[in-house]
Structure 1
Amino acid sequence: MSQHTGDPRGAHPDKRTLRREFLAVRNALPEDDVRETERLVAERALDLAELATARTVAAYVSVGHEPGTGALLDALRARGTRVLLPVLLDDNDLDWGAYEGASSLVRVRHPGKMALLEPGGERLGPDAVLAADAVLLPGLAVDGRGMRLGRGGGSYDRVLARLAAAGAHPALVVLLHDVEVVAHLPEEAHDKAVDAVVTPSGVRRFN
């Protein structure tokens, strides 16, 4: 896995600069690689003990050149796992709804943001995530300590804070491309390490 520090100039760029760099690399990935990544990441993730034993998994619908989650969502649902998907609220917090298959998703355009596929059924409330045995987190990168670089909207910071406040400790798993696992990322006081990263080449766990 890459030992890239996130900055080719050797300095310590802020997270905004890093996000632009990681997004540029991700967006340049060939479509064939993105499709193959979806298949491999689903395969690796389904073998995780944390997902195999989970009754409820909070996940998300991938966008752009993120490692695709469609195959994984369907496989989890097929084996009887309850899958929750996020609904973006006006304040960037997340509500949740149950995943009932690809046909149950609706495309929602949020002002000033990209269109997202969200569950079209009943809204379960922001606290629904507290029932999850595992939470799949989107991200742009993760480092050798398990520190995750998100997109900067703060939605999942709120989710993680909600889990911590309730004393809930689901397994935290991020899905990434291989090149997005790096040696070191900047962190802030509110940042929380994930338990594992799944990439096409395998699973890496963090302490």
Structure 2
Amino acid sequence: MQESHVPHSAIISLVFIIFLENYYFSYMTTDDSKNVHKAKVALRHAALERRNSTTREQQHEAGLQLRDVFAQSSLFTNLMQRSEPACIAAFESFGTEIDTEPLLTLLAQHDVRVLVPELGESGRQLSWRWRGQLNAALDPEILEQADLVLVPGLRFDRDGWRLGRGIAWYDRALSYRRSTTAAIGVCWPWEFNSTNADVPHEAHDVPMQAVMTPDGFTMIQQ
């Protein structure tokens, strides 16, 4: 299998995101907020440690399974039955994430317009770009065009709550989507707790309407 190239800017962004993890919440004053933050940090570190045991081959195989799960979902089949071209906000995987290249290829084969995050060197830039168009940042309002948003996460629970990287990028970005646009969490199977609500969350956190893993697609009961 040919290994995908991870842009140097993406590596810099990831390092910066980890650095910001504690700084981002440094101004929280309530004990409850501090406790939630500590719980998130512990879960985040445990998730990243577990992911580090995955290989490139496992990431790619999981990506193939994820593609098939999405292709068989009712959300995707309904979009494909529309007369106008669909638009999906997705993401380009890196590091120990599930390989999203098979899924992105599927979308291209169906002429789906695909938005992906454009984080910038700081890792906090709230903008997007059309996949395949480098250095062409679009304002966050472009997300209004998306019919679905695929959201990476380190953990999700049965209520749709998500554990991210720690800087609330998607929580801010999702505020620009249409009210009818579903946000679908994407993660490894062991990162989705379908039986319990165990992801700590705060007022700024945004829940998902569905969670997708290589093992299946689950709609969240709202």
Q: Which has the higher contact order (CA 8 A, sep 6+)?
A: 1
Paired residues for 1:65-104 under 5 Å: 65-89=96-120, 90=122, 92-100=124-132
Structure 2 residues not aligned, in runs of 5+: 1-34, 81-85
Taking the aligned partners of 1:194 and 1:128, their CA distance within structure 2 comes to 20
CA positional deviation for 1:191 = 1.5
Native 8 Å contact 1:57 1:135 kept in 2 = yes
1:101-112 equivalent positions in 2, closer than 5 A: none
**Partner Cα separation in structure 1 for residue 203 and residue 56 of structure 2:** 36
How far the C-alpha of 1:87 sits from its partner, in A, is 0.5
* 2:209 corresponds to: 195
Q: Which moved more, 1:30-39 or 1:45-54?
A: 45-54
Q: Does 1:49 align with 2:80?
A: no
The equivalent position to 2:160 in structure 1, one of 142, 146, 169, is 146
CA contact (8 A) 2:51 2:96 kept: yes
Partner residue in 2 for 1:28: 53
CA distance in 1, matches of 2:74, 2:111: 15
Give 1:152 shift.
0.8
2:182 is the counterpart of 1:171:
yes
Alignment of 1:117-128 (within 5 A): 119-120=133-134, 122-128=136-142
* Aligned AA (2:106): A
Distance 1:162 1:16 in 2: 27
The count of residues paired between Structure 1 and Structure 2 equals 176
- Counterpart-to-counterpart distance in 2, 1:199 and 1:40: 8
- Cα distance in 1 for residues equivalent to 2:39 and 2:189: 22
* 2:176 matched residue in structure 1: 162
One-letter amino acid matched to 1:24: E
Contact 2:168 2:205 in 1 (8 A): no
Unaligned runs of 5+ in 1: 1-10, 101-118
Deviation at 1:74, TM superposition (A): 1.2
Provide the identity percentage. Answer: 31
CA distance in 1, matches of 2:151, 2:169: 11
Q: Taking structure 2 as the reference length, what is the TM-score of the superposition? A: 0.73
Distance in 1, Cα, partners of 2:74 & 2:218:
13
* TM-score normalised to structure 1 length: 0.78
Question: Which whole-Å CA distance do the structure 1 matches of 2:123 and 2:65 have between them?
Answer: 34
Give the strand-richer structure, 1 or 2: 1
1:59 CA displacement: 0.7
Distance 2:138 2:55 in 1: 37
Q: Which shifted more, 70-79 or 26-35?
A: 26-35
Structure whose residues are more often helix by fraction: 2
